[in-house]
Chain A
Amino acid sequence: MNIKNNWWKYLGVLCFIYAITAGLLIPLKPGIAEISEHSLYSGSSVDLSVRGYNTSFAEENYSGYIRLSGSQQIKASGFNVLDNQNAILHFELPHSFEGQEKVSEATLVINSPLHGYAIYPNLRILKPETDIPNNAQWENILEVTEADWKFAFPYRNIIVETIRNTFYHVAIWMAMFVLLTIALVYSILYLRKGNPVHDHVASSFTYISLVFGVIGVATGSVWARFSWGAFWTNDVKLNMVAISMMIYLAYGILRASIDDNDKKAKTAAIYNIFAYAAMIPLIMIIPRLTASLHPGNGGNPAFGTDDMDNTLRMVFYPAIIGLGLIGGWIAQIGIRIKKIDEKLINRALND
């Protein structure tokens, strides 16, 4: 192949290989996998046994904190290391915290100068019936010195290793949207100019994005099994996406059921624009109105700063580019096949 004209194919394949190898092989950052207690009483002294993921308690100088949702924290007075993954943290909790509520949300933080910090959210601190006064005091949070940057993905509870699916499941949706938008543009072009090549482009791109969409639903179902516990959930986004895939399956059936080529192209182009317009409320508006398991729904913007970090982005964006370019390549092969087919038919008609 000529490199000058086909550089984007090489780029796509390189990005895809990079996304698969880097996405599978780069380790996760240290995290806290399990702690022994989730509800603590203020004023008491507790021993929290902590099980770490990818931590090295024995080799480094870790320190532990319990952080309130405000800007206050208390440092563990004891950090007894059992082995690299297990440690027992001793806390003397102060007898009160700010606010009138009986319960305060808190986060357990462990910090090492070399590997950075790991957090465990969903900790609760309860006010006991009777106050037990003691000397401990909440302290204000000091600036944490950032650890050396390491090429590792962030650790998140529940999803843990499946965070790597961002590069495959989420990226294939993004690539599908790009391909569908290209198909939309060519459908509009066909309606305005009537050039049959534009119809080939639009239909090829729609078919490959339909394949991407089906892959997206299937991969999402596998991911759901591993993080939410079931292959199919009642989640809005999942069901809306399934419906929009049905819309594009209908596109294929529409094309197959009309015999006349000219009429087929025109009807398919009209329906393609119509389907794209119908998909916007399905995927963009409805999931945002209702609570969803997916991140970025229920009013939040998709992919806030909490969901993505720089190491994820370094693989995520190449994955989108790679899948998009490979999709474009496959669509281009489809277009070329259709061109040849049309030429053959014309030649047969002329003979």
Chain B
Amino acid sequence: MKKILFFLYFSIFTSNILSASDSDFYRSTGKIYGVYGVVLILVLGLIFYLISIDKKLKKIERNLDNE
């Protein structure tokens, strides 16, 4: 059920951009790469922080095993 909902959600937006004429404009000024960069940094930043939390958790797990 969830998968179908996600598929529907994505298809609505992608069809919107593809049918709303030339997606040429999207990249025509080259500025959209600035947005891609920003989103990439956002996601990578969150992932790096999650990795550091994971490391902390691993340390505690090791302590638990040693007991």
Contact = CB atoms under 8 A, between A and B. Distances in A.
A and B touch in the complex (CB under 8 A): yes
Contact of A227 (B34, B41, B49, B56): B34
Interface in B1-47: 9-10, 13-14, 16-17, 20-21, 25-26, 28-29, 31-35, 37-39, 41-42, 45-46
Contact of B42 (A21, A168, A208, A340): A168
A195 B56 CA distance: 23
B38 A54 contact: no
Nearest to A20: B39
Chain A CB within 10 Å — which of B29, B34, B57 has the most?
B34
Interface in A136-165: 159-162, 164-165
A219 B17 contact: no
A24 interface: yes
Given A161-B32, A344-B60, A222 B45 contact: no
Q: Which of B10, B14, B33, B45 has the most CB of A within 10 A?
A: B45
Nearest to B63: A344
Contacts, number: 98
A22 interface: yes
A162 B34 contact: yes
Interface residues of B, number: 33
- Kindly state the interface size class of chain A when it binds its partner: 35 or more
A27 interface: yes
A211 B45 CA distance: 7
B64 A219 contact: no
Interface string A186-229: 00000000000000000000001001001100110011011100
Contacts of A330: 46, 49-50, 53
A22 B67 contact: no
A172 B42 contact: yes
Pick the 4 closest A-B CB pairs, nearest first. Answer: A226-B34, A215-B45, A161-B31, A25-B13
Interface of B: 9-10, 13-14, 16-17, 20-21, 25-26, 28-29, 31-35, 37-39, 41-42, 45-46, 49-50, 53, 56-57, 60, 63-64, 67
Interface of A: 20-28, 33, 53-54, 56, 159-162, 164-165, 168-169, 172, 208, 211, 214-215, 218-219, 222-223, 225-227, 326, 330, 333-334, 337, 340-341, 344, 348
